[in-house]
Amino acid sequence: MKQLFFRGGVPFVADVAPPSVEPGRVLIQVACSAVSPGTEIGSLSSSGRSFLSLALEKRHRVDRLIDALRRRDLDDLRARVTRLAARRENWVAVGYSAAGIVLAVGEGVTRFAPGDRVAAAGAGHASHAEMISVPQNLVASVPASLELELASTIALGAISLQAVRRAGTAIGETVVVLGLGLLGQIAARLLVASGARVLVWDPRAERMAAAAAHGAEALAVDRSADVPLAVRAATQGLGADQVLLAAGAGAESVAVAAESTRRAGVLVLLGATPVQMPREIAYERELNVRISTSYGPGRYDPRYEDAGQDYPIAWVRWTENRNMAAYLGLLAAGRIRIDDLLRRVHGLADAREIYASLQLPGSSPGVVFWYMTDTTAPAVVSSVTPPPHPTPPVGPSSPLLPRPPISPPLRIALLGTGAYVDASILPEFARLGDRVRVTLLSGSNPSRREPLAARFGIARTASVHEASAVDDDADLIVIATRHDRHADLTARAIRAGKAVLCEKPLALDAAGVAEIERALRETGGAPFLMVGFNRRFAPATLAVREALSPRRGPLQIVYRVQAGLLPAEHWIRGAEGGGRLIGEAVHMLDLLRAFSGAPLTRAAVLSGGGGPEGDPAADTFHLALGYADGSTASLLYTSRGSMRHPKEQIEIHADGRTFEIVDFQVARETGRETPLWQGPAPRKGQDGMWRAVIDALVGGGQAPIPIEELLETARAVIALEGARR
């Protein structure tokens, strides 16, 4: 399909893989999508920022560059500069308001069916593309009498409607709308329809004329500074009951808007406007300043938008989805009209000229891209659903047989396009040179997937992970998606006879582990399964394990992780992540298992407390572990310490000797003058792990970590998380 992106300050259209049908989402063939000029012109400009501005955008980027310079760690410095430079080449998916025909619905979607006419909203979802996949709470049915062209403005209309609701305007009150771009025009017409007296001002005369044609009163002044005086003249000296500032302007505009209100009036800020003004203006009026957040309640709440949890209507009358539906209803009933605001553009080919024209005086405030000519029935798209993979009958467990060697380059299908793939996995593959070749990159977000593929020379991309997990042109399937997909994709790849490396964790629940075990039993030959437990392969780990071998007695280990507090909205905290014990501390459990060399026989967990009851992603907990050889370990995982302290610190006591690993940058033995190993920066073993995996596959060997250990660790973290909850 074709989709519009921004890169380096330039719009361009790319051919990308269509989205897949996913649970809780609606797959839509787009008929038309509306441009939001202010937001999208700002995004276009932002995509062309310089390297220096990107570096200065966040303080920690500068700090880490300086730290790498101070340590003279040229590899770390080069990697950070390369990542920053790559950010400037990132693709930005643009657009957030569209309408079209439902092609398919994912599991759990009951309000829509194929063939329905719908409109959709949401940045990253309702993009300027021929096909989109949108969470169901961001989709609304289009009334039969309403044209899809008008319905495609659903996000813009819902934003304007939420601003009107925030103003709280009553019939007969006077409202001023400052700024008559698309949002301001729609807001003014909504206010007129509600029975308010609406005064408007914009520096462009044609925009004021357009608003006046729909019942607003234009303020006859040339400068924004004269608006407050004109408002007082029109209201017998009282000022406006409410003012909506719908212009992306500076503090001067905020002050003008504030001065236009009456005493105890309301100022609603709609758009990217600074929340500042002279105190005396707000103080004299006892001004009520209100921010309008996008489409309304539910916006930016992942439980509402992504997980599909609605708010009860008795407590939240106007959610963002109900605002969207109300706006479409007003259009369908003819209560407001916006057809004079829109310019139709067929296809995306002229996007560069369109965005240039939107920045010129006198341009139409709204543009709609059209993709379909026939909007009466959905098109047939056969590639959106993965082909079913046949499941062989369950049979008895078979012994591990020798694996046939694979001649390099090893062909890899990589599933996932997140930050770890970008910063670690793909650079490691690049360093392996001719030994590996990534033949397929699979990811649901084309604005991440396509630039990564271009940067690392990957010829094929896809959006359907299930099909990618059984790809014919791959020897090794690398699964680096969000955690809730790991078990299913791993089982699919195993059943297809593929070698699999799954990033941690292997599964989020016992059912996922059981499914993988069934797949392993059903597979003929020798299954190759690995989990990305790279810390086993870190130089510091290898140095300590060598120094400990042979040992006479059991180990006592203290492992402390200063993890830092995750933001409340981080995906690890939700159903996709499974929490920090399963999603992150599983790394530590595997490393402790490697040091002990014996099965885990007993374990206990103490929650750190201080968070919500039943918090699924606790940042603080303490594990006590016992192993079959008598070894014991204590794992303290905390977010309460100083982030200037080493992030990971391990003490190992055995046979009258003590070893210490600090941040995988140094390994030392107490009483020994020189370190066992030391590096200029932390090295957590990613390179060693990948070399071991590639060596095993090319040499026809088994995975570097026995499958029994991988399953044991997966079961252990799931049981411990259950006990912690």
Q: 263 with 285: CB under 8 angstroms?
A: yes
The confidence score (pLDDT) of residue 126 equals 96
**Does residue 393 register a pLDDT over 50?**
no
Stretch 408-421: mean pLDDT: 95
Pick the range with the lowest mean pLDDT from 159-163, 229-233, 362-366, 501-505. 362-366
At 720 the pLDDT is: 95
Query: Cα–Cα–Cα angle for 242, 244, 245, nearest 5°?
Result: 140
Q: How confident is the model at residue 324 (pLDDT cuts 50, 70, 90)?
A: very high
Phi-psi region of 388 (alpha: psi -120 to 50; beta: other; left: phi over 0): beta
Look at residue 556 in the predicted model and tell me its pLDDT.
98
**Average pLDDT of span 511-536:** 91
The pLDDT of residue 649 is 97
Q: Is the pLDDT of residue 253 over 70?
A: yes
pLDDT at 401: 55
Which is more confident, 504 or 395? Answer: 504
The mean per-residue pLDDT over the stretch 233-247 comes to 94
Structural domains in the chain, CATH included, are: 2-47+90-153+302-370 (3.90.180.10), 156-291 (3.40.50.720), 413-528 (3.40.50.720), 535-724 (3.30.360.10)
CA–CA separation, 25 and 132 (whole Å) = 10
Q: What percent of the chain has pLDDT over 90?
A: 71
Please, are residues 668 and 409 in contact by the beta-carbon 8 Å criterion? Answer: no
pLDDT at 610 over 90: no
Q: Are 448 and 127 in contact (CB under 8 A)?
A: no
Q: Which residue has the tokens 């990107």?
A: 54
Residue 380 has pLDDT above 50, yes or no: no
Between CA 189 and CA 195, with CA 191 as vertex, the angle to 5 degrees is: 115
Q: What is the pLDDT of residue 641?
A: 85
Per-residue confidence band for 271, with pLDDT thresholds at 50, 70 and 90: confident
Q: What is the mean pLDDT of the segment spanning 642-660?
A: 94
Residue 15 reports pLDDT greater than 80: yes
pLDDT band, very low/low/confident/very high, at 276 (cuts 50, 70, 90)? confident
Tell whether the model's pLDDT for residue 73 goes beyond 80: no
614, 536 contact by CB (below 8 A): no
Say whether pLDDT at 83 is over 70: no
Q: Which whole number is the average pLDDT over 545-553?
A: 93
DSSP for 311-367 reads: PPTTT-S--HHHHHHHHHHHHHHTSS--GGGEEEEESSTTHHHHHHHTTSTT--SEE
Strand partners, 441: 414, 461
Confidence band of 86 (pLDDT split at 50, 70, 90):
low
DSSP annotation of 573: G
For residues 397 and 392, give the distance between their C-alpha atoms in angstroms, rounded to a whole number.
13
User: Would you state the pLDDT for residue 249?
Assistant: 59
Where is mean pLDDT largest: 15-24, 211-220, 637-646? 211-220
Per-residue pLDDT, 274: 72
Query: How would you label 431-448 residue by residue, b for 16+ Cβ within 10 Å and e otherwise?
Result: ebeebbbbbbbbbbebbb
Cα–Cα distance measured from residue 259 to residue 137, given in angstroms and rounded to the nearest whole number: 39
Q: What is the mean pLDDT of residues 664-690?
A: 95
690 close to 478: Cβ distance less than 8 angstroms: no
- What pLDDT score was predicted for residue 585? 95
Q: Which of the four pLDDT bands, split at 50, 70 and 90, describes residue 609?
A: low
Q: Kind of pairing, strands 288-291 and 217-218? A: unpaired
pLDDT at residue 50 tops 70: no
- Across the range 5-12, mean pLDDT stands at 90
Write out the E strands in 507-554: 529-531
Instruction: Give the residue ranges of DSSP H helices in 23-170.
Output: 37-46, 51-57, 59-71, 74-88, 148-151, 154-167
Q: Is the pLDDT reported for residue 84 higher than 70?
A: no
pLDDT per residue over 325-366, tens digit each? 999 999 999 999 999 999 888 889 889 999 988 888 766 778
Mean pLDDT across the chain, nearest whole number? 89
pLDDT beyond 90 at 607: no
pLDDT of amino acid 67 = 74
Distances (CA, A) of 70 to 271, 643, 667, 681: 42, 19, 21, 11
pLDDT class for 105, splitting at 50, 70, 90? very high
Identify whether the C-beta of residue 484 lies closer than 8 Å to the C-beta of residue 512.
Answer: no
**What is the DSSP annotation of 288-302?**
EEEE--TTSTTTT-H
pLDDT tier at 661 (50, 70, 90 boundaries)? very high
- Give me Rg for the CA atoms of the chain: 29
Query: Are 429 and 463 spatial neighbours (Cβ–Cβ below 8 Å)?
Result: no
Q: How far apart are CA 173 and CA 605, in angstroms?
A: 61
CA distance linking residue 558 with residue 654, whole number of Å: 12
Q: Is residue 99 pLDDT above 60, yes or no?
A: yes
Going by pLDDT thresholds of 50, 70 and 90, the confidence category of residue 389 is: very low
pLDDT value of position 396: 36
Query: Quick one: CA dihedral 699, 704, 706, 707, positive or negative?
Result: negative
CA distance linking residue 684 with residue 672, whole number of Å = 23
The helix (run of H) or strand (run of E) holding residue 715 is helix 707-724
Q: Whole-angstrom Cα distance, residue 84 to residue 201?
A: 42
Containing 252, the helix (H) or strand (E) segment is helix 251-259
Strands 666-669 and 657-662, sheet pairing? antiparallel
Residue 225 and residue 156 in contact, taking contact as beta carbons nearer than 8 Å:
no
Position 277 scores a pLDDT of: 81
The dihedral through the CA atoms of 4, 8, 10, 13 has a sign that is negative
The answer for residues whose C-beta is within 8 angstroms of residue 397's C-beta and 6 or more apart is 520, 521
Q: Which string of b and e fits 9-48 if b means at least 16 CB within 10 Å?
A: eebebbebbbbbbbebbbbbbbbbbbbbbbbbbebbeebe
Question: Are 598 and 628 contacting, i.e. CB atoms less than 8 angstroms apart?
Answer: yes
- The pLDDT assigned to 47 comes to 73
Position 386 scores a pLDDT of: 37
Phi and psi at 593, nearest 5°, equal: -65, -40
Which pTM value belongs to this model?
Answer: 0.80
Best CA proximity match to 188, nearest among 217, 230, 151, 147: 217
Q: Which of 164-168, 266-270, 310-314, 363-367 has the lowest mean pLDDT?
A: 363-367
Q: How far is CA 109 from CA 383, 438, 440, 533, in A?
A: 20, 35, 30, 37
CA 61 to chain centre: 20
Per-residue model confidence (pLDDT) at position 292: 93
Confidence of residue 55 (pLDDT cuts 50, 70, 90): low
Which is higher by pLDDT, 20 or 692?
A: 692
Give yes or no for residue 209 having a pLDDT over 90: yes
DSSP 608-657: --SS-TT-TT-S-EEEEEEETTS-EEEEEEESSS-TTS-SEEEEEEETTE
Phi-psi group of 458: left, alpha or beta (phi > 0 → left; psi -120 to 50 → alpha; rest → beta)? beta
Cα 242 to Cα 163, 215, 239, distances in angstroms: 11, 17, 9
Which of the two residues, 63 and 387, has the higher pLDDT score? 63
> pLDDT band at 88, cuts 50/70/90?
low
Q: What pLDDT shows up at residue 385?
A: 39
Q: Are 86 and 3 in contact (CB under 8 A)?
A: no
- CA–CA distance, 192 with 194 (Å, rounded to integer): 5
Q: Does the pLDDT of residue 613 top 60, yes or no? A: no
Model confidence at 704, in pLDDT bands (50, 70, 90)? very high
| 134-176: pLDDT as tens digits | 999 999 999 999 999 999 999 999 999 999 999 999 999 999 9
* CB contact set of 100 (below 8 Å; sequence gap of 6+): 28, 29, 30, 31, 32, 117, 118, 120, 132, 148, 371, 372, 375
Report d(CA 220, CA 224) in Å as an integer. Answer: 11
The Cα–Cα gap between 381 and 389 comes to 19
For the ranges 235-249, 290-304, 343-357, 704-718, the one whose mean pLDDT is highest: 704-718
Overall average pLDDT of the 550-570 stretch: 90
pLDDT at 657: 96
pLDDT at residue 405, as a whole number: 92
Confidence bin at 376 (pLDDT 50/70/90): low
Segment 467-472 long-range contacts (CB within 8 Å, at least 24 positions apart) = 467/386, 467/387, 468/413, 468/415, 468/440, 468/442, 469/413, 469/415, 469/493, 469/496, 469/498, 470/389, 470/495, 470/496, 470/498, 471/413, 471/439, 471/440
Bridge partner residues of 666 (DSSP) = 662, 678
The one-letter code for the residue type at 159 is I
User: Is residue 526 scored above 50 in pLDDT?
Assistant: yes
Mean pLDDT value of segment 116-141? 96
DSSP bridge pairs for 100: 30, 118
Would you list the DSSP string of 540-552? HHHHHHHHH-S-S
Cβ neighbours around 454 below 10 Å, total = 13
